[in-house]
Amino acid sequence: MKMLPTVIANLFSKPATRNYPFFVREPFEHARGELINDIERCIFCGACARKCPSQCLTVTKDKTEGIWTLEFFACVGCGVCVDVCPVNCLSQKTTHRPVAVERAVITLRGKLPERPAKKDRPDSIEKTAE
Amino acid sequence: MARTVIPFGPQHPVLPEPIHLSLVLEDEKVVEALPTLGYVHRGLEMLAVKRDYNQMIQIVERVCGICSMIHSLCYCQGIEEMLGIEAPRRARMLRVVWSELHRLHSHLLWLGLFADSFGFESLFMQLWKIRERVMDLNEATTGNRVIVSVNVVGGVRTDLDEAQVRWIKDTLVEVEASIRSLQSTIMNDTTVCKRTKGVGVLTKQAAYDLGAAGPMLRGSGVAQDMRQLKYAGFDELAFEPVVETAGDCWARSTVRFRESLQSIDLVRQALDKLAPGDLAVKVKGKPEGEVITRVEQPRGECLYYLKGNGSTFLERVRIRTPTFANIPPLAAILPGLDFADVPVVVLSIDPCISCTER
């Protein structure tokens, strides 16, 4: 019976829930959602793949291009990769991916950064100095 | 009458997680209860040898879905002790803020589930409605609702700005008012008292001897709380453990109710003491040696044993969670109870089986 005032107050107040598919709450500004890679800026250093706790990222290179893959079902959205990215090409949206029924992997390909010519590389300069 | 064995769980409407109890009954009275565990073992401790010590933070957070922040806090504290570093003051205060918000939403969740266990649905919905405000605080300040990933070795990753601090304080005023409006229902309502008072009594001596932890122990009159160890920023905050002496289900729910108000107070104190400063210190070296750290989770004392060998991989991580400590007292208080009271008593220990089995 002690609950009665609360129950009556609830009867005459707005519903606490939203009519979900028709009314969606705006996501919070800092919410961590879907992981995005701006592949044009990516240098394929692999820092994200090494630090990822759920090992959902892989970075491989072949002769001409770099390949960045994200297994988004394994991603836990912790944001560690975003923190460690040296060129800040990784970012997180505030919303999540829509529900999917098939397992899939996001594969992005991009140009490898141009390496400086051999004589300009710091390690070769040191060697000549010796 | 002959004895009957009734299986309780692993799937039971009152249990959020799988624990199996073989209840030996004589008529309607329980004479013996044998717990069986092992339904949700995930082998998280073993992952320590495959993931480096920084990646382990996200793994230990997933030991428990409710008090994730407190697990990673305990782990980071241990690694920091091994490395001989200390988190900056601002980081330690922020850790208090988020760990107390976690305790608050965990207690509200439990109070709701407890109300549900004796069929008080409207109280259950009301408490979870309040809890949602706390979850919003977590999501808006850290980015995630439950598994917040704010800890790193040496400090925290996320900061609070002035506007967020003000918003948290304003929201907590409303949260506190709505929790207080339910105080008389939780503590004095006739239906609630009939189902909880004098049920599942654990005496002070028995609680101490059987190694109970957390609200189970404090509900029996032992004033022991790991926050008395002054870890993180608790050294600068005024704190007294909440103690009840009755030792029954009512005492345990009252301890948790009063602790949720205490958590709001601690968040306020920590936010007031938040001085500008660094968020994390630079980490040098690899963890080496052995360390034991303890923190207070919503369910009680949580102990981490960490062993490092000077590489990026830890040699051993051992986690002792409060529910593990609370199962022997549970098996001791069940005999002599009516069968209908078993769900209420089982829920009164706040079983977190995923934690227990890791």
In tens, the pLDDT along B57-94 reads 888 888 888 888 899 999 999 999 888 888 898 898 99
Is B59 inside a domain boundary?
A: yes
- Amino acid B105: pLDDT: 92
Return the amino acid letter for B260.
S
**B contact set with A (CB within 8 A):** 51, 54-59, 62, 120, 122-123, 126, 129, 132, 136, 139-144, 147, 149, 157-158, 181-182, 184-185, 188-190
Is B32 inside a domain boundary?
A: no
Among chain B residues, the shortest Cα distance to A25 is held by B136
Is B221 inside a domain boundary?
A: yes
User: What is the phi/psi pair of residue A16, to 5°?
Assistant: -80, -15
- Amino acid A130: pLDDT: 45
In the predicted model, what is the mean pLDDT of residues A20-28? 86
In the predicted model, what is the mean pLDDT of residues A56-77? 86
Q: Which residues of B touch A83 (CB under 8 A)?
A: 157
pLDDT band at A129 (very low <50, low <70, confident <90, very high): very low
CATH 3.40.190.80 for domain A39-113, yes or no, is: no
Work out the angle at residue B230's Cα, subtended by the Cα atoms of residues B224 and B234, and round it to the nearest 5 degrees.
Answer: 110
Residue B209 near residue B202 (C-beta atoms within 8 A): no
How far is the C-alpha of B168 from the C-alpha of B161, rounded, in Å?
Answer: 11
- Amino acid A117: pLDDT: 63
- Which residues contact residue A11 at a Cβ distance below 8 angstroms, ignoring those fewer than 6 apart? none
Closest CA to B62 of B50, B78, B47: B47
Is B333 inside a domain boundary?
A: no
Asked whether the beta carbons of residue A30 and residue B190 sit closer than 8 angstroms, the reply is no
Is B259 inside a domain boundary?
A: yes
The shortest C-alpha distance from B195 to chain A (Å) reads 15
Asked whether the beta carbons of residue B143 and residue A30 sit closer than 8 angstroms, the reply is yes
- Amino acid B305: pLDDT: 92
Closest CA to B153 of B308, B315, B341: B308
Backbone conformation region of residue B92, classed left if phi is above 0, alpha if psi is from -120 to 50, else beta: alpha
Pick the more confident residue, B113 or A127. Answer: B113
Average pLDDT, chain B: 88
- How many distinct structural domains can be found in chain B? 1
Report whether the peptide linkage leading into residue B10 is cis, meaning its omega lies within 30 degrees of zero: yes
- Amino acid A30: pLDDT: 83
Is B299 inside a domain boundary?
A: yes
Among chain A residues, the shortest Cα distance to B128 is held by A16
Asked whether the beta carbons of residue A2 and residue B122 sit closer than 8 angstroms, the reply is no
Q: What is the pLDDT of residues B225-271, one digit of tens each?
A: 888 888 888 888 888 888 988 888 899 999 999 999 999 999 999 99
Q: What is the ipTM of this complex?
A: 0.76
The shortest C-alpha distance from B352 to chain A (Å) reads 22
Write b or e for each residue in A34-58: b if 16 or more Cβ atoms lie within 10 A of its Cβ, otherwise e. bbebebeebbbeebbbebbbbebbb
Global confidence as pTM: 0.87
Q: What is the CATH number of the domain that holds B48?
A: 1.10.645.10
Residue B189 near residue A1 (C-beta atoms within 8 A): yes
Considering only CB atoms, A31 lies closest to which of B126, B143, B189, namely B143
Among chain B residues, the shortest Cα distance to A75 is held by B58
Asked whether the beta carbons of residue B58 and residue A83 sit closer than 8 angstroms, the reply is no
- Amino acid A118: pLDDT: 62
How far is the C-alpha of B142 from the C-alpha of B156, rounded, in Å?
Answer: 11
Range of the domain at B178: 40-326+338-353
- Residues in chain B predicted with pLDDT less than 50, given as ranges, are none
Q: What is the DSSP secondary structure assignment for residue A13, as one 8-state letter?
A: S
- Amino acid B264: pLDDT: 92
- Amino acid A125: pLDDT: 52
Work out the angle at residue B58's Cα, subtended by the Cα atoms of residues B54 and B62, and round it to the nearest 5 degrees.
Answer: 145
